Structure formats: structure tokens, C-alpha cells
Amino acid sequence: MRTTSLNHCYMFGNQTSDENKVTLLSLGAVEPLFKLVSHEDPLVRRNAIMVFGIMASNNDVRKLLRELDVTNSVIARLAPEEDIVVHEFASLCLAHMAVEYTSKVQIFEQGGLEPLIRLLSSPDPDVKKNSVECIYHLVQDFQSRAAVRELNAIPALLELLKSEYPVVQLLALKTFGVISNDRETRIILRENLGLEHLFKILETKEFNDLHVEALAVVANCLEDVDTMQLIQQTGGLKKLLSFAEMTTIPDIQKNAAKAITKAAYDPENRKILHEEEIEKCLITLLGTDNDGAKAAASQAISAMCENLASKDAFGIQGIPQLVQLLSSENEEVKEAAAIALANLTTGSPSNASLNVSLITEVCTPERGTYSRISLAVLYEVLLLKLKESSH
């Protein structure tokens, strides 16, 4: 009788619209369902958690689930002795609940992370998908990020990058995008050949939908000099720069430039990037049709200007393009270009000499391109020009 009723509840609640879930909530179905989640009969437990899993997508249902403190009972359903269907809907319920901060804390404090990591190796793709999605929400908190390292989750997450299901790959990449902000995780990722997995995705055209997220992880990894040297030695850096130049996807162009900016904060990285002729790549990105990519490329040029050889390399081709960007209608592009020009001309008479006539032409009232930053750049250029002529 219970099993039949639960089946009806599942079919009723498993609709695209939230209306049926709200109806079940208003009929007081959640409290008795909660009791049945821990029932001694495996079939009753399974059917109860199936209803819980689909109902938890509704915000009002989740609110009541938090009040009832259901996380411990749901985590218990992740035990190895439970069947795959129970794992699927228990992990689905936790993935829905982990969206809210309070539930994140409860899942972590009640030991939910360890069984979720174990389920990353489940033979069922839905269990993998729900588990990695829940982990992605949990690692927004620094305690969970540290625990993921300690529980040796990196190898299992890397295996998900080989999944035949794009949604599983995407969630794994998004998780890496968060946890790779921590240097300790980046070291483990490098030791487990994580960069090879990431570059394989970037080199595969069929994985276009994953390139933005993969690039975000690579960007974090490039902050470390050891990783930068490794990528250079294996030819990965040359591939990455070629990829950034050749792609026509705006988000990838922008994220590639942002990756370079991050890496260029380190002097040793700047030296390596210059050796790989990063200037050519960034000048190409300045000429794209996307404002986000133009602004990001300008910011990367600013970061690379700390390297004197790089500053000289940008001169003849880079400065005219940056000057043209001063007349952009996009304020972010205009500002980033102006700052890049200021950095290129500071302490460089040759760049200043090239700059002065170009900026004077662009910064005219008729063209409406005066701005505080543009004027500051022009002042800097003229000052350098005067100093140069006085010697």
C-alpha cells in the first residue's frame, strides 16, 4: 500500500512545472515522507527518497526540508549497501539543497562530502552527475575545498573529464574552476597530470562547449611558475597561444587574455610569455570584434609591460591599435586601452614618440573621445617627449 502511494506521489510530483510539488507540500506530504526515507523496508525507502529527490527542486519544499533537518537521513542513503536508484535520488536531493548556504554547512558538517566523492566512481551517470553537482556547490566554501584535497577527490574528478556525458564533464570542470584557486590543489592537479586532460579538451573541436571552463582552470594553473615552465617545456603554452589566436568564440578570446593577465603578475612568467611571443597573440586579440576580448587583451598588455623587452615588442603594431580603441563606445575598452598606453609609454621614449601624434589625432572634442584617463595618457606622452627633446 505504502509503495503504491509513493509511486503515485512520484509520478504526480515528477512534472516540469512546480505546481504539483507545491500541491504535495500543501497536502502535508513532506513530513510523512521524511519518516519513510529511513524505513526498514528497502523498497519503501527507495520510493520515498525518489519523491524527496524530485520535490527538493522547489524552493518552498527545500525550506521545509531545512526546518526538518533532513540532511543526515538523506546522507545515510548514500551508503554503499543502498541500491543505485537510492543513490541517484539521494544525491539529487542533496544537489538541490546544497544551493543554499545553510544546507551546504549541514551537508559538510554531517559528513556528506566523503560519500559524495565515493559516488563519483559510481557506474551510473546520473549518480555521478548529481554527486559532482552537489560537490560543486559545496566547494564554494573554503572548508569543503580543503576537504576535497584531503579526501583525495582530484583523481576521481579528473576521471569525470573523460565521461561520455557533456553535463558531467562540464560540472567537473566548473568544480575544478573553483578548487584550482587554491595553490595546494593546483599542485595536486599537476601531479595527477590534470593539465594533460585539460589540454586534450581544448584541442578537441567537439568539446567547444567545454572550452571556456577548461580555459578558466588553465588560467588558475598558469599562476604557478612551475606549471608555466612545465607547459612551456611540453609545448602546451605554444598550443594555448595558438588556440587563443585562432578561436572565434568571444568568451574564449576574453578568458584567454584574462589567463595571460593572471600569469603575467609573476616576473618569471612574464619572461616565459615573452619568449613565446605573447605580444603577437595579444595584438591579434585587440583586433577582434568583441569588446570583452579587447578590454581583456589591453589589460594583459598592461601586465606584460613590466617586462621591458615585451614593452618594446608591443610598440609598432600594438600602440596604433590601442590608440584606435580610445575612440571605442565601450567605456571598459576605452579605459583599458588608455591604461595600457600609459604603461607602454612610461619610461619608453621610443613608444612615446610613436604615441604622441596618434593620440593627438584621436583625442579631439569633435570625436568625443576625451576622458580623464585619455588626457592622463596624453600628458604622460607629451612629458616624455619633452624630456627626450631636452637631452
Examine the domain organization and report whether 252 and 350 are in the same domain.
Answer: yes
Does the residue 12 lie in any domain?
Answer: yes
Examine the domain organization and report whether 30 and 99 are in the same domain.
Answer: yes
Does the residue 171 lie in any domain?
Answer: no
Of 28, 48, 31, 30, the residue nearest 39 (C-alpha):
48
Contacts of residue 198, defined as CB under 8 A and 6 or more positions apart, other chains included, come to 161, 214, 217, 218, 221
The CATH number of residue 66's host domain is 1.25.10.10
Distance, CA of 337 to CA of 322 (rounded, Å): 5
One-letter amino acid of 25: L
Of 279, 272, 209, the residue nearest 244 (C-alpha):
279
Query: What pLDDT, in 10s, does the model give residues 204-244?
Result: 888 989 999 999 999 899 888 999 998 889 888 888 888 88
Query: What pLDDT, in 10s, does the model give residues 337-372?
Result: 988 888 887 766 555 555 555 555 555 555 554 455
Examine the domain organization and report whether 90 and 234 are in the same domain.
Answer: no
Query: What pLDDT, in 10s, does the model give residues 84-116?
Result: 999 999 999 999 999 999 999 999 999 999 999
Q: Hey, is 266 helix, strand or coil?
A: coil
**pLDDT at 9 (0 to 100):** 45
Examine the domain organization and report whether 157 and 276 are in the same domain.
Answer: no
Tell me if 173 sits within 8 A of 217, measured CB to CB.
yes
**pLDDT at 37 (0 to 100):** 79
**pLDDT at 13 (0 to 100):** 47
Examine the domain organization and report whether 223 and 152 are in the same domain.
Answer: no
Distance, CA of 57 to CA of 337 (rounded, Å): 45
Does the residue 27 lie in any domain?
Answer: yes
Tell me if 45 sits within 8 A of 7, measured CB to CB.
no
Distance, CA of 216 to CA of 303 (rounded, Å): 18
Examine the domain organization and report whether 154 and 240 are in the same domain.
Answer: no
DSSP 205: G
**pLDDT at 138 (0 to 100):** 97
* Tens place of pLDDT per residue across the chain (391 aa): 445 544 544 444 455 556 655 666 556 566 777 777 787 888 888 888 888 888 888 888 888 888 888 899 999 999 999 999 999 999 999 999 999 999 999 999 999 999 999 999 999 999 999 999 999 999 999 999 999 999 999 999 999 999 999 999 999 999 999 999 999 999 999 999 999 999 999 988 889 899 999 999 998 998 889 999 988 898 888 888 888 888 888 888 898 899 899 899 899 999 999 999 999 999 999 999 899 999 999 999 999 988 888 888 887 778 888 888 888 889 899 889 988 888 887 766 555 555 555 555 555 555 554 455 555 555 555 554 455 545 5
> Which phi and psi (to 5°) does residue 63 adopt?
-60, -45
Of 325, 262, 336, 347, the residue nearest 302 (C-alpha):
336
Tell me if 236 sits within 8 A of 278, measured CB to CB.
no
**pLDDT at 311 (0 to 100):** 86
Distance, CA of 357 to CA of 291 (rounded, Å): 25
Return the number of other C-beta atoms located less than 10 Å from residue 214's C-beta.
25
DSSP codes joined into one string, 150-219: HTT-HHHHHHHTT-S-HHHHHHHHHHHHHHTTSHHHHHHHHHTTHHHHHHHHHT-GGGGGGHHHHHHHHH
C-alpha cell read off for 1:
500500500
Does the residue 130 lie in any domain?
Answer: yes
Tell me if 128 sits within 8 A of 96, measured CB to CB.
no
Task: Estimate to the nearest angstrom the gap between the alpha carbon of 23 and the chain centroid.
Answer: 37
Examine the domain organization and report whether 249 and 317 are in the same domain.
Answer: yes
Examine the domain organization and report whether 23 and 135 are in the same domain.
Answer: yes
Examine the domain organization and report whether 137 and 244 are in the same domain.
Answer: no
**pLDDT at 165 (0 to 100):** 96
Examine the domain organization and report whether 249 and 142 are in the same domain.
Answer: no
C-alpha cell read off for 334:
576605452
Examine the domain organization and report whether 255 and 370 are in the same domain.
Answer: yes
Task: Estimate to the nearest angstrom the gap between the alpha carbon of 328 and the chain centroid.
Answer: 28
Does the residue 169 lie in any domain?
Answer: no
* Domain span at 225: 196-203+216-391
- State the total domains in the chain: 2
Does the residue 289 lie in any domain?
Answer: yes
Tell me if 122 sits within 8 A of 131, measured CB to CB.
yes
For the purposes of burial, counting CB atoms within 10 Å of the CB of 183, is it exposed (0-12), middle (13-18) or buried (19 or more)?
A: exposed
Examine the domain organization and report whether 254 and 363 are in the same domain.
Answer: yes
Of 141, 146, 121, the residue nearest 131 (C-alpha):
121
Task: Estimate to the nearest angstrom the gap between the alpha carbon of 369 and the chain centroid.
Answer: 34
Does the residue 183 lie in any domain?
Answer: no
Residue the block writes with cell 523498497: 43
Contacts of residue 366, defined as CB under 8 A and 6 or more positions apart, other chains included, come to none
Does the residue 208 lie in any domain?
Answer: no
One-letter amino acid of 273: L
